[in-house]
Amino acid sequence: MDAPSRDRTLIGSDDLVAPLQRPSREEAMAAVRTLIAWAGDDPRREGVIDTPKRVVDAYGEWFEGYDADPAKELSRTFEDVQGYDDIVMLREIEVESHCEHHMAPFLGKAYVAYMPTNRVVGISKIARVVEIFARRLQTQETMTQQIADAINDSLRPAGVAVLIDAVHQCMTTRGVHHRHVSTITTQFTGVFKTDASLRQRFLDFVNKR
């Protein structure tokens, strides 16, 4: 059965926007067969004959973030915070994503905090927001910004802090082949941006063992 269509746009050099129809499952499998043949193998070979199906299934899981809405995840909030006015933070959220440049995985951890004003959200929803953006093609820098913006827009907190520490396989398995090199990106808004001591508390929590 074909996957549901998604509304997408393509912007060409003339800046004209045209609708992009999501390919069918069979078209996606045919594209995988083409890549197998381009790599030098025979897509009809017994060992890889079912690979297109597996790859398409894997892509459906790896990139399911396109079909999810972070704002919806953050829409159910709780206003009974009983005077709580300090940091809410989640540490070591698993990040499994793919870079948009080579479609290679990058894996790591996210640390996310916000300073509530008059409402909070279930802690699992913060982890879910990270997962939604991770399961899309983008750069780590963009994802860090997206997570901060989503929390800021939905919860209207006094501030948001996001740090992601990840290893990119486009750097470790190709190109320069440097292993054990991680990339750290941060984004601070509100009080985390203006208050150095609060920002340091967040970083201390990140480094706490």
Contact 71, 65 (CB under 8 A): no
98 noted as active-site residue: no
Question: CA 47 to CA 86: how far, in whole Å?
Answer: 56
Catalytic pick from 73, 99, 131, 138?
A: 99
- What tokens does 200 get? 């340091």
140 noted as active-site residue: yes
Question: CA 170 to CA 105: how far, in whole Å?
Answer: 7
Catalytic pick from 73, 138, 140, 187?
A: 140
* The residue to which tokens 């901060």 are assigned: 148
Reported as half-sphere exposure (CB side, CA atoms, 13 A), residue 175 has a value of 11
Catalytic pick from 26, 27, 64, 101?
A: 101
Catalytic pick from 96, 145, 169, 170?
A: 170
Q: Which residues, 6+ apart, have CB-to-CB distance to 134 below 8 Å?
A: 65, 95, 96, 97, 143
Q: How many CB atoms lie within 10 A of CB 21?
A: 9
Catalytic pick from 73, 131, 168, 187?
A: 168
101 noted as active-site residue: yes
170 noted as active-site residue: yes
Contact 115, 158 (CB under 8 A): yes
Catalytic pick from 96, 102, 145, 169?
A: 102
Catalytic pick from 26, 64, 100, 141?
A: 100
26 noted as active-site residue: no
Catalytically active residues are: 99-102, 140, 168, 170
